[in-house]
Amino acid sequence: MALRKLIAGNWKMNAAMAEMDAISRAAAAHGDVDVAVCAPATLISATMRPSIRVGAQDCHWNAYGAHTGCLSVAMLADAGATMVIVGHSERRADNHETSEEVRMKAQAAVAGGLTAIICVGETEAERDAGQAVAVVTTQLAASLPPASTGASTVIAYEPVWAIGTGRTPLAADVAEMHAAVRAELVRLLGPEGTQLRILYGGSVKPSNASELLAIPDVDGALVGGASLKAADFVPIIEAATPAFPSGY
Ligand code: PGA
């Protein structure tokens, strides 16, 4: 059975508060899709709306301590977050985060009651070398806490070369990767591996959302640039809605 789709915006280090009313109206009107906005931590409480799940973009794995500039899971939950992205490729690259650290963050997030969105993805050089599936499944195995469940954890496959570039993989390549991620989840978690949603991320926009969201095992999208404008984000929510044909 198809999993309920999740469309999650990742605002990164941008603010789009003026778009929130239109986004929340669309989320309320499309109740059979989960809609999330992962905002900068300072905007979490301001972003909260009844129809939307608010997420953070990173967390520390420790509950407290001498970690200047970091935020604990409890702090994010206290601010109103119910989800958190961990292991985004920008953090893996810019902050040299390892998959082991990502696993510790995901574990802390789930223990603290947040849904973890664990990101994985290959670089262009890795894809060109024919290693995309091996790289992503290896990252997944190292980043996923062993007790992960469909209720607690979401996977986001985001090819690094597709993020913010306007380029997306061929539908066949997305299908191959999502099938491989699904198989790896089942290998790691048993039958529960069928219950985790696998989002696609990387240059999702209104013009490609319907095609991407129709691919088997694409259970939603993690949307960067296009989540900053309701005029772009709302059609992506609509494209994920089973009751509305694409182009509605
Ligand atoms: P993009 O970013 O949609 O702007 O490509 C996606 C992401 O990094 O999550």
Task: Verify whether ligand 1 is closer than 6 Å to residue 38 (CB atom).
Answer: no
- Whether pTM exceeds 0.85: yes
Top mutation candidate among 58, 92, 161, 203 for ligand 1, by most atoms within 8 Å of CB? 203
**Residues 38, 10 contacting (CB under 8 angstroms):** yes
- Ligand 1 near 164 CB (within 6 A): yes
Residue that the structure tokens 């490729």 belong to: 89
Taking phi over 0 as left and psi of -120 to 50 as alpha, with beta for the rest, 239 belongs to alpha
Mean pLDDT for all residues in the chain? 96
Residues 16-67 pLDDT 10s: 999 999 999 999 999 999 999 999 999 999 999 999 999 999 999 999 999 9
| 10-26 residue pLDDT tens | 999 999 999 999 999 99
Question: Which amino acid belongs to residue 187?
Answer: R
Q: Which of 155, 168, 200, 204 to mutate to test the pocket of ligand 1 (most atoms within 8 A of CB)?
A: 204
CB atoms within 10 A of CB 189: 20
What's the CA gap between 24 and 36, in Å, rounded? 10
C-beta of 245 in contact with ligand 1 (< 6 A): no
Tokens encoding 137: 């499944």
Confidence of residue 243 (pLDDT cuts 50, 70, 90): low
Q: Indicate which residue's Cα is closest to atom 7 of ligand 1.
A: 224
Structure confidence at residue 242 as a pLDDT band (50, 70, 90): confident
Q: Which numbered atom of ligand 1 lies nearest the CA of 85?
A: 9
Measured by CA distance, the residue closest to atom 2 of ligand 1 is 224
67 Cα: distance to centroid of ligand 1 (angstroms)? 27
Which CB contacts under 8 angstroms, 24+ apart, belong to 162-168? 162/201, 162/202, 162/203, 163/89, 163/90, 163/121, 163/201, 163/202, 163/203, 163/224, 164/203, 164/224, 164/225, 165/202, 165/203, 166/203, 167/202, 167/203, 168/202, 168/203, 168/204, 168/208, 168/212
- Phi, psi at 11, each rounded to 5°: -75, -15
Q: Which ligand 1 atom lies nearest to the CA of residue 163? A: 5
Active site residues: 88, 158
The string of pLDDT tens digits covering residues 180-231 is: 999 999 999 999 999 999 999 999 999 999 999 999 999 999 999 999 999 9
* 199 within ligand 1 shell (Cβ under 6 A): no
